[in-house]
Structure 1
Amino acid sequence: MALSKLRIAGITMLFIAFFLSFLASISLPTIRALDIARITDPLPIPNGAPSIGVREARFGIWSFCEYFNSGSVQCNPTGHGYTWPGLTTSPNSQAIAVQPLQASWTRGLAIHPVATAFAFIGFCLVFTTHTFWTLLVTALAALLTLLAFAVDIALYAKVHNLIKDVQVEGIHIYDSKTGAGFWLTFVSLILLIIAGVVNLISHRSESYPAYPSYPMSSSKPSWLGFLKK
């Protein structure tokens, strides 16, 4: 049976949602641009600044990466539930400028690949006749992606809270931003929800085609008819 345009649209959106979720799940250190949140120093590098000074810190699902004034990048550790040691006031100082990020804030990021797996299963099932399982798995993928996005929001909020009070002479020296992985997860969530609704409508339209209409009787039923039987 040929696929309807509506069902093709649902399949396409489901595939894009899976692909975006897959990219977000790779994250750092493999793809450094796909971080969830980051801390940046917006001020220009002053003359004589030490090359080992951290210019930017990016937080992904599996690791964090630090960008130094020299242009070099260091990503570590790689694993589930990492801890970021924070930033010191100077490379040779032990005074903490930005407090560490504990593993409790990054451990929940592992839900991303789980959501990706459910999105892939839902995409495979959409080509079958198992309507119930297709819609159920798609709904679970959307729910897991929603939970993953909630973890992303919590991570960004924590990162923002770490640097909001860090000032030098009344000037904030660090900014917090959301990364590309954050927005890939958000778009994937929206597409999963829309794809689920579209696939539900398309399955119903294919399973229940238009029936011929019959004229309605104009006579009203009466309780007297029951007595005549």
Structure 2
Amino acid sequence: MRFRSIKDASTRFNELVNFFKLESLLKRYPEELSGGEKQKVAIARTLILDPPLILFDEPTSQLSPREKERIAFEIKEIIKTFKKSALFVTHSLDEASIVGDRIAVLSKGELLQIGEPSEIFFTPENVEVAYLTGVNVIKGYVIEVEGNISKIDIGNEYIYVLQEYNVGDSVVVFIHPQDITLSKTPFQSSARNQFEGIVYKIVNKNGIATITVKIAENFCINALITKRSFEELNIQLGGKVYLTFKITAIHSVKVS
């Protein structure tokens, strides 16, 4: 963008200073700015030229976790306010889901999946994407088909999926941890997917507990519960728990 006059350039400069609240930074040297402040200045410098497309190449890589999230939300607001198209490169799916309307997942130069954030997180198309999103990945093979429900052998245990496969098909089952319900007592339900297991690991973070339940020797499932539920259930390492999930919460794909 070329400004027709110094006045136009000054007007644009003041607009960006006000939008990014940079007034207090104008008389400071670059080395005196925090990581977040440097990022805001860099984005403002880019926008003053009014480019049609903005590339954000890992803009939060040097920031603290709190600053990363804040900057991601600010970039989302900037894109919306200035009506810009943008390409946001990051190793964090959390940041990608905040900023992006669509996410492309790449690994070793290969495009694994592209779609809306909800599609990436809840209906991964392959194991690599599922692992990146933290979804439970369970491999097995079909031993029985009844209508549109397939019974998957996962090694001394069985999972029922709402998908019609052929007997003998190799299948990968994806279950999001937040779709799993935990209990200290057996469920009084006719749900097909119910398991008994031992609490193998507990990770508490930001008011959410990730509970890893060992169902069999080589079979663990992660479940997410709130801090309140964790305390009410009084879940302890090594304790017995029961878990269940709706058949409609399962996403599965056939693999060769």
Q: Which has the higher strand share?
A: 2
Do both proteins adopt the same fold according to a TM-score greater than 0.5, normalized to the shorter chain?
no
TM-score (norm 1): 0.19
Q: Which has the higher helix share?
A: 1
Larger radius of gyration: 1
Larger RCO of the pair (alpha carbons < 8 Å, separation 6+): 1
TM-score (norm 2): 0.18
